[in-house]
Amino acid sequence: MLNRLAIHTYTNKPWNLAECVEHYARKGIGGISIWRETLAGCDLKAARQHLTDAQLKPVSLVRGGFFTGLTVEARDKAIDNNLAALRECEALGIDKLVLVCGATVGQTPQTNRAQIAEGITRIAPAARDAGVKLLIEPLHPVYAGDRSAICSLRDANDLCAELALPHVGIAFDVYHVWHEMDLETQIQRCAAGGWLDAYHICDFKPDQDHLLLDRGLMGEGCIPLQQIETWIAATGFTGPREVEIFSRKWWAEDQHRYLDTIVSTYQSHYS
Amino acid sequence: MLNRLAIHTYTNKPWNLAECVEHYARKGIGGISIWRETLAGCDLKAARQHLTDAQLKPVSLVRGGFFTGLTVEARDKAIDNNLAALRECEALGIDKLVLVCGATVGQTPQTNRAQIAEGITRIAPAARDAGVKLLIEPLHPVYAGDRSAICSLRDANDLCAELALPHVGIAFDVYHVWHEMDLETQIQRCAAGGWLDAYHICDFKPDQDHLLLDRGLMGEGCIPLQQIETWIAATGFTGPREVEIFSRKWWAEDQHRYLDTIVSTYQSHYS
């Protein structure tokens, strides 16, 4: 059963959007999360029709955010960019936008966080009007310098609690938070708050050769995937399990064979 | 004033112990933390005499730990190795041993943590007898898979509180914990518990090209060093600031010029 399997287009970076839609659908995969990089240059109306025809559920648009910046101009530009992403969500019929919240070298984590809170608050009305939920994705602390100051599930929960906006939730990705000693508690808290809106899977290779582009397929690393799945399932979560892997190694392979491997690996990990 | 500056021998990896001692002392640097890799093959008695003659304070021996393992045999071997490190501390007149606690691929963070707690408990009596304090060093979560399951200052504080052993404390390294949103609170807690026993400085480069060997000199990265120094100073900490940098880039440079750069960079950051 692959109805709970979804794939991020960036996982198959060599494919364009039409290829992703076609090949995922033919395999019986249930959903797709669309990267804006993959979407660039596509006709949105045609893309939406293709998704409908293929009966492939568009799960999330990836990604907005990057709210931090040294100047007001930079931060205003980020708002414009997020509003554009929300319009793309509307055009495609997607009701979730994943946020990589941002971090700027030269600013403290606290300053970054304040700018993130302000940015989300500024785009929240437009998200509500578009019927799109904004998903804060806590990122691994290795990216805390220049990608996201929100770098633990605890931080993401704290921010959701502080913002208290009905259209703001969390994208949970095992890669970023697997190591946290209080993970079970924070997952429970995330679900109880109504924020557990996405579940991304992959693996973390301790010997990775690149900070961004050497993620592992499930089983290639050290994440206790089964334990985390048990915790997620215990909350009652029944949404898609989204495979999101950036890997130069896998991108260099034949993408059809790679997709077969993703599917079989998924099946061996999740029943 | 360089009396509060100490340097880890691995920072100048191309130098042997005698060279480190000689060159640090000539600069008026106050202390040295000795890596066991640098110590390998040295006569301990002669090394101790050299430190005394040079009037260089040996701050810590680096490093014990690595308590986790899939088998009892592996974990027993780690104990033996730590006991050997304690004997080296005694021989050199060093009263602190830094612990990188360990993590084993295939074990959950919780299992790793239990084995770490057990390992520290097992060597604690020998540490007490040797007059050596065991310093848990929380490592950056990027090393949580294979180096340390203790990967936040909160985790280290929790473990110290749980163990409640007078000869167990914490080695605080800005590289590993700078991103934590509750860092000020955890520093206060660490000091209040009597666990703030070492203070390591360097910088975190967001664009680092190697997970282990591309640390930055102060100012080369994104750590808010001044903010953290303020928090550390506010606890009343007056111990050494230890420069610990692993960098293929800096190791390829002339080590005398590099040492000059360390000193001038230190002076520009810390008055």
pLDDT at B94: 98
- Nearest chain B residue to A147 by CA distance is B206
pLDDT below 50 — which residues of chain A? none
State the burial class of residue B97 (Cβ atoms within 10 Å of its Cβ: 0-12, 13-18, 19+).
buried
What is the C-alpha radius of gyration for chain A, rounded to an integer number of angstroms?
Answer: 18
Say yes or no for a CB contact (<8 Å) between B151 and A105.
Answer: no
Model confidence at B173, in pLDDT bands (50, 70, 90)?
very high
DSSP sequence for A120-188: HHHHHHHHHHHT-EEEE-PPPGGGTTTTBS--SHHHHHHHHHHH--TTEEEEEEHHHHTT-TTHHHHHH
Contacts of A141 in chain B (CB under 8 A): 140-142, 179-180
State the nearest Cα–Cα gap between B148 and chain A, in angstroms. Answer: 10
Selecting from A141, A180, A224 the residue whose C-beta is nearest the C-beta of B179 gives: A141
Which of the residues A105, A178, A181, A226 would you substitute to probe the B interface, choosing the one with the greatest number of B C-beta atoms within 10 Å?
A181
**First-last CA distance in chain A:** 8
Q: How confident is the model at residue A67, as a pLDDT? A: 98
Q: Which of A106, A142, A221 sits opposite B145 (nearest CB)?
A: A221
Whole-number average pLDDT of chain B: 98
> Which of B146, B157, B179 should we substitute to test contact with A (largest number of A Cβ atoms within 10 Å)?
B179
Mutation target for A interface from B100, B113, B142: give the one with most A CBs within 10 A.
B142
Report the pLDDT value the prediction gives residue A57, as an integer from 0 to 100: 97
Interface size, chain A vs chain B, as Cβ–Cβ contacts under 8 Å: 89
Count the helices and strands in chain B (H runs, E runs): 11, 8
First to last CA, chain B: 8
Rounded alpha-carbon distances, angstroms, from residue A234 to A6, A27, A188, A238: 20, 28, 8, 10
- CB-nearest to A181 from B113, B178, B211 is B113
* Whether the predicted pLDDT of B2 surpasses 90: yes
Angle at B136 between CA B265 and CA B199, to 5 degrees: 20
How far is it, in rounded angstroms, from Cα B118 to Cα B16?
A: 34
- Contact by Cβ (8 Å): B181, B224: no
How high is the pLDDT of residue B271?
77
- Which residue out of A104, A139, A179 would a mutagenesis test of the B interface target, given it has the greatest number of B Cβ atoms within 10 Å? A179
The alpha carbon of residue B189 and the mean position of all alpha carbons in its chain are separated, in whole angstroms, by 19
Residue B1 pLDDT grade (very low, low, confident, very high; cuts 50, 70, 90): confident
pLDDT category at B30 given cuts 50, 70, 90 is: very high
Q: Is B95 helix (H, G, I), strand (E, B) or coil?
A: coil
pLDDT in tens, B60-119: 999 999 999 999 999 999 999 999 999 999 999 999 999 999 999 999 999 999 999 999
pLDDT at B37: 97
Instruction: Specify whether the backbone of A134 is left (phi greater than 0), alpha (psi in -120 to 50) or beta.
Output: beta
Residue in A with minimal Cα distance to B211 = A211
Closest CA to A98 of A85, A116, A107: A85
Q: Has this prediction a pTM greater than 0.80?
A: yes
Q: Which residues of A touch B180 (CB under 8 A)?
A: 109, 141, 152
pLDDT in tens, B210-264: 999 999 999 999 999 999 999 999 999 999 999 999 999 999 999 999 999 999 9
What's the CA gap between A88 and A132, in Å, rounded?
A: 11
Residue-level pLDDT at B222: 98
Model-level ipTM above the cut of 0.90: yes
B6-22 residue pLDDT tens: 999 999 999 999 999 99
Residue with tokens 């939920």: A133
- pLDDT attached to residue A1: 85
- Residue A60 CB neighbour total at 10 angstroms: 29
- Report the percent of chain B where pLDDT is more than 70: 100
pLDDT at B178: 98
All residues of chain B having their beta carbon less than 8 Å from the beta carbon of residue A179 are 109, 141, 144-145, 149, 151
The DSSP element (H or E) to which A243 belongs, if any, is: strand A241-243
Segment A149-192, tens digit of pLDDT = 999 999 999 999 999 999 999 999 999 999 999 999 999 999 99
Measured CB to CB, residues of chain A less than 8 Å from chain B are 103, 105-106, 108-110, 113, 140-147, 149, 151-152, 155, 158, 178-181, 183, 204-208, 211, 221-222, 224, 227
Angle at B61 between CA B57 and CA B66, to 5 degrees: 165
What is the residue-averaged pLDDT of chain A? 98
